[in-house]
């Protein structure tokens, strides 16, 4: 017993020193890449609203994305810059989240509480699974509407040789399938929970301590999450209802 106590007192630490990379740095990576994703998802949602303007409106937007900045920037230059930024951020976000998750498990130890305190704790628990689901949906989405393979609608039309894009036709063809419409709606709900809790954690990680700042931040987060769900999820629902055709 005395020896045991000495062992305890001589700093029986979980770790001898702070881990590398530091948890603080990893949380900053989560926060910064999180901002990038939220900005992207938000702007993407605004772009999607072009669907209400009809085929010409959405298709020319898709076209514009590929040509913006030309001739200063090569064709698809902006598009590829965005894709690379997002891919690098994704690798960093997922990598950091896995390390943080493992550190949390190790620090908690052998015993796990079964009881939890409410909706915030619930949202926090969904983060890793939610992230994995978002990744899965992302693969489906790219196959469906960008690449046009596997889960894509039978009537998928790749871009013409002259660069004409059939975004609207493909979107309507895809969302006309009830199961695919449902997949997109569920995806948006998962993203909303992830953003809702992620937004709150971001305020913590970036050190927002002021009362007013925290109140404004919370409201803003709820509005952004709501806008993203409504703006996006309404599209498959309206296709199913025959309003968009």
Partner 1 sequence: MRIELEVWRQDGPRERGRFEAHVVDDATPEMSLLELLDRLNDQLVEGGQEPIQFESDCREGACGACGVTVNDVPHGPVPRTPSCRQHLRSFGAVTRLRIEPLRSAAFPVVRDLVVDRTALDRLIRAGGHVDVMTGTAPDADAVLVTHDDAEVALDFAACIGCGACVAACPNGAAHLFAGAKLAHLALVPHGRLERGRRAVAVVDALEAEFGPCSTYGECVEVCPAGIPLTAVAAVHRERLRSVFRGRAD
For ligand HEM, the binding residues (CB under 6 A) are 27, 30-31, 34, 37-38, 41, 93-94, 97, 100, 127-128, 131-132, 134-135, 191, 194-195, 198-199, 201-202, 205
At a CB cut-off of 8 Å and minimum separation 6, what does 235 contact?
48, 51, 171, 175, 184, 244
C-beta of 37 vs 61, nearer to ligand HEM: 37
Determine which residue in the list 59, 175, 184, 205 makes contact with partner 1, applying CB under 8 A: 205
Helices 211-240/167-175 angle, 10° precision:
80
C-beta of 90 vs 128, nearer to partner 1: 128
C-beta of 131 vs 153, nearer to ligand HEM: 131
Select from ligand HEM, partner 1, none the partner in contact with residue 178, using the beta carbon and a kind-dependent cut-off of 5 to 8 Å. Answer: none
Contact 59, 166 (CB under 8 A): yes
Contact 221, 196 (CB under 8 A): yes
Place of tokens 């514009």: 64
Can you tell me the distance from the alpha carbon of 118 to that of 125, in angstroms, rounded to the nearest whole number?
Answer: 11
C-beta of 51 vs 127, nearer to ligand HEM: 127
Select from ligand HEM, partner 1, none the partner in contact with residue 212, using the beta carbon and a kind-dependent cut-off of 5 to 8 Å. Answer: none
At a CB cut-off of 8 Å and minimum separation 6, what does 124 contact?
197, 201
HSE value, Cβ hemisphere, 13 Å, CA-based, for 114: 0
Binding residues for partner 1 restricted to 36-65, rule: CB under 8 A: none
Select from partner 1, ligand HEM, none the partner in contact with residue 15, using the beta carbon and a kind-dependent cut-off of 5 to 8 Å. Answer: partner 1
Determine which residue in the list 68, 78, 79, 100 makes contact with partner 1, applying CB under 8 A: 100
Give the shortest CB-194-to-partner 1 separation in angstroms: 12
Furthest C-alpha separation in the chain:
83
Q: Does position 26 bind partner 1 by CB under 8 A?
A: yes
The stretch near partner 1 (CB under 8 A) out of 64-72, 75-83, 101-109, 154-162 is: 101-109
Can you tell me the distance from the alpha carbon of 197 to that of 38, in angstroms, rounded to the nearest whole number?
Answer: 12
Q: Does position 212 bind partner 1 by CB under 8 A?
A: no
H-state helical runs in 49-177 = 55-67, 77-108, 119-141, 167-175
Which residues contact partner 1 by CB under 8 A?
1, 4-5, 7-9, 11-19, 22-24, 26-27, 100, 103-118, 120-121, 124-125, 127, 197, 200-201, 203-209, 214
């Amino acid at each position: 017993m005395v020896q045991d106590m000495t062992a305890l007192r001589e700093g029986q630490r979980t770790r001898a020193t702070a881990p590398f990379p530091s948890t603080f740095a990893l949380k900053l990576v989560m926060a910064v890449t999180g901002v990038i994703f939220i900005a992207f998802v938000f702007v993407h949602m605004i772009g999607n609203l072009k669907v209400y303007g009809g085929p010409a409106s959405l298709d020319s937007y898709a076209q514009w994305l590929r040509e913006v900045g030309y001739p200063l920037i090569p064709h698809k230059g902006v598009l590829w810059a965005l894709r690379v930024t997002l891919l690098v951020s994704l690798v960093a976000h997922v990598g950091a989240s896995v390390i943080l998750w493992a550190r949390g498990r190790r620090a908690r130890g052998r015993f796990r509480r079964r009881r939890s305190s409410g909706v915030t704790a619930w949202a926090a628990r969904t983060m890793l699974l939610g992230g994995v689901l978002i990744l899965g949906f992302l693969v489906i989405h790219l196959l469906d509407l960008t690449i046009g393979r596997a889960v894509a609608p039978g009537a998928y039309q790749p871009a013409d040789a002259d660069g004409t894009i059939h975004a609207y036709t493909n979107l309507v063809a895809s969302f006309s399938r009830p199961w695919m419409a449902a997949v997109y709606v569920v995806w948006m709900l998962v993203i909303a929970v992830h953003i809702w809790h992620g937004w709150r954690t971001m305020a913590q990680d970036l050190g927002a301590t002021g009362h007013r700042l925290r109140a404004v931040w919370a409201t803003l987060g709820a509005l952004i999450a709501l806008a993203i769900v409504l703006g996006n999820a309404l599209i498959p629902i309206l296709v199913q209802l025959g309003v968009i055709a």
